[in-house]
Amino acid sequence: MEEKLIKEAMSAREHAYTPYSHFKVGAALLGKSGRIYRGCNIENAGYTPSNCAERTAFFNAVSEGELEFEAIAIVAGPEGGELVFTAPCGVCRQVMMEFCDYETFRIIIGTAPDAYREFTLKEILPYGFGPKNLE
């Protein structure tokens, strides 16, 4: 499944809209239903309205009714260059915290379909704050 998700993320990256950073990111999010939701980064002349690939994938999925997730693959790199190992930003980690199991959700960071590192949400967001804190 890792290879398939990374390939999907690579396809998603082709749609990245990055006239300002020229740094292109693609994501592929696996829902518990088995469906895969793609996302790319979408920048804006106002800068702050820009959206990361990971959040695009989550919002795409949630807007289609999927609320539970297994894993996300992320690929990133400068336009026209090689893919580089790129971990999700803090805001995207917080969005993962809202919808994903802290101990089991997998974040797959790839530079090729057969070259990746895998982390749990707990590993990349220690002492996270999420919905359970408000119960």
Q: Site residues (CB under 6 A) for ligand THU?
A: 18, 21, 23, 25, 41, 43, 50, 52-54, 86, 88-89, 92
Q: How far is the CB of 96 from ligand THU (least distance, A)?
A: 11
Instruction: Rank residues 23 and 119 by Cβ distance to ligand THU and give the closer one.
Output: 23
Backbone torsions φ then ψ of 90, nearest 5 degrees:
-60, -40
> Which string of b and e fits 52-88 if b means at least 16 CB within 10 Å?
bbbbbbbebbbeeebeebbbbbbbbbeeeeebeebeb
Looking at the Cβ atoms of 8 and 54, the one nearer to ligand THU is 54
Compare residues 33 and 59 and give the one whose CB is closer to ligand THU.
Answer: 59
First to last CA, the chain: 34
Distance of CA 23 to the CA centre of its chain: 15
CB of 92 to ligand THU, least distance (A): 6
Tally of helices (H runs) and strands (E runs) in the chain: 4, 5
Q: Give the residue numbers annotated as catalytic, written as ranges.
A: 54
